[in-house]
Chain A
């Protein structure tokens, strides 16, 4: 089992996301995260999917996804020549005494404090999944009340193989 990140360019039509997620569930493929957003050309949506499986399964995922009528392009984003980012919002329970500790950890990770309440604060962190995981584990001494992660978005580096906008 290994992970692979796929970048899809799909027609921005209704139902396209359900067609893609339906394909994963009915063929029993593991999907770890899926993010979607319109590209600079509003006719298209860029979807980043993180999937896991053995090599044959990952190969089938790529082919089956490519076969969907709405999919214009699919390619694997290999780690060595791509960048991935994920955004996480983390609500931490903080008393007056504990607050400074959380803020210092956030500073080290260049995370932002985007909301402060009497007994909690919300930290916003963008980075690779490893960075976010490391940050969350460092917060182990505190109580995490809520956590929202977006799943990763990715792009290939450089101007070679630019798929579409």
Chain B
């Protein structure tokens, strides 16, 4: 057995079903060995998307997403995908081939110091120097990626190590790492303090971030919120922690969020921030969430607590475990008026839009689309105006909402949707992007066709890089610079080039029937929605 066989065996031991990647000489031993495995390989069309697809798979399955690319340009191309996963704490194991270990450091063909290059975007990285270390390193890598605060781990493996004979393959049953032991269970003293503060509170609120989803803590959060009637708002990464129309859910916070969600958070007297970083887009004025209130910050990563705001009660642990423990506490927490006030805000503070009847109205369209989507459908939003509309108007029922939050990487939605579809083929998966973000990953239509991955794609087309155009509208008084997308391909012709069904919606007149046709069968469809180029998210 050689190193490459050992790698494949490790992936099998970890229950990996799909590897997204792109070969090159330095990773060829691995791609040769994987032919003898039941693990399926997906040939992505550019390496960045391998990491995005693995991310989509991880976010739906809860398992670690895996990608494998070659050395040099293959490895450097995957960096944006890794950084995107890192920013959103998505568990990935990324395998990169490397030049012969004896040649390392001599700048030979397709050599890149990838462990050095990704240092600030990975949770951990390995450069394998001895073939016999492969089982231990893979065991550790999967463990590190999917415990504590999740994140990507990179394993760089020189070609000679992949080809070297391994003495004996035994996959470790457990991880024994001297230095890595994340705290998952919350400190009970702190938990009791939280209960005591809630008992005093008249206006409590929970702000849930992506950490709740990553810890699979949605059920526990819901149970806790319902038991004490505590209203919930979420960050962008937290969308989907609760059904959008749940009476206790009051929308997304932040500068692109719902005004009533921000107001609710600011006026509360007790705020539980859970699995959220308190980053600049969600909380632009951190002092507003510390003034005159008790701030409880729950996070599995101790470094996030106190990074942007100093909490009254810090609580380190996994959201799921903390809510489980909080549910065991018995206390009273009454605040009927508070919920009434928030409902009033929700009624009164609805953002007004004046849609142009000549075009598709993104808000109305996305609302109708979500109503028609399957209960557990997965909605993948890209980055740009489309993302802000998606966050604002998509209605999560029992499904998931995926997007690139921390990094805001354009082109995320199509590859991530492919990964999501492969994670659970029974579920409906829809990628919603703009014409800018679509063109950043449209090469993946070939991957979808080759591997029969029936993802549905919606392109909100306005012939502009809309989000930047909107910024230039406000900041540079309509002096548009490098945002005009004329020259874009005819999407109908493009769809037919890939044997993909195509639909077009020009305005809201036929929206019902077009959406029904779009959602009808489990097949790839590209739906172009022509939207007003001058439309604004704000």
Residues of A within 8 A of B (CB): 10-11, 14-15, 18-19, 22, 26, 43-44, 56, 59-60, 63-64, 66-67, 69-72
- B120 with A69: CB separation less than 8 A: no
Q: How far is the CA of A78 from the CA of B119 in the complex (A)?
A: 31
B478 smallest CB distance to A (angstroms): 36
Given A10-B179, A11-B179, A60-B307 in contact, is the A66-B302 Cβ separation under 8 Å? yes
Given A11-B178, A71-B179, A72-B178 in contact, is the A22-B120 Cβ separation under 8 Å? yes
- A69 with B303: CB separation less than 8 A: no
Given A10-B179, A43-B178, A72-B179 in contact, is the A66-B120 Cβ separation under 8 Å? no
| B144 within 8 A of partner (CB) | yes
- Report the count of interface residues on B (CB-CB < 8 A): 18
Q: Which residues of B contact A69 (CB under 8 A)?
A: 123-124, 144, 177, 179-180
For window 259-314 of B, CB contacts with A under 8 Å fall at 301-303, 306-307, 310
- B115 with A15: CB separation less than 8 A: yes
Q: Which residues of B contact A70 (CB under 8 A)?
A: 179
Residues of B within 8 A of A (CB): 115-116, 119-120, 123-124, 127, 144, 177-180, 301-303, 306-307, 310
Nearest CB in chain B to that of A16: its residue: B179
Q: Which residues of B contact A14 (CB under 8 A)?
A: 127
Nearest CB in chain A to that of B153: its residue: A69
Q: Which residues of B contact A15 (CB under 8 A)?
A: 115, 127
Q: How far is the CA of A63 from the CA of B144 in the complex (A)?
A: 18
Q: Which residues of B contact A72 (CB under 8 A)?
A: 178-179
Nearest CB in chain B to that of A71: its residue: B179
A-B contact pairs, 23 of them (CB 8 A): A10-B179, A11-B179, A14-B127, A15-B115, A15-B127, A22-B119, A22-B120, A56-B306, A59-B306, A60-B306, A60-B307, A63-B302, A63-B303, A63-B306, A63-B307, A64-B303, A67-B301, A67-B302, A69-B124, A69-B144, A69-B180, A71-B179, A72-B179
Q: Which residues of A contact B127 (CB under 8 A)?
A: 14-15
Nearest CB in chain B to that of A44: its residue: B178
Q: How far is the CA of A14 from the CA of B178 in the complex (A)?
A: 16
Q: How far is the CA of A14 from the CA of B115 in the complex (A)?
A: 12
Q: Which residues of B contact A64 (CB under 8 A)?
A: 303
- A19 with B302: CB separation less than 8 A: no
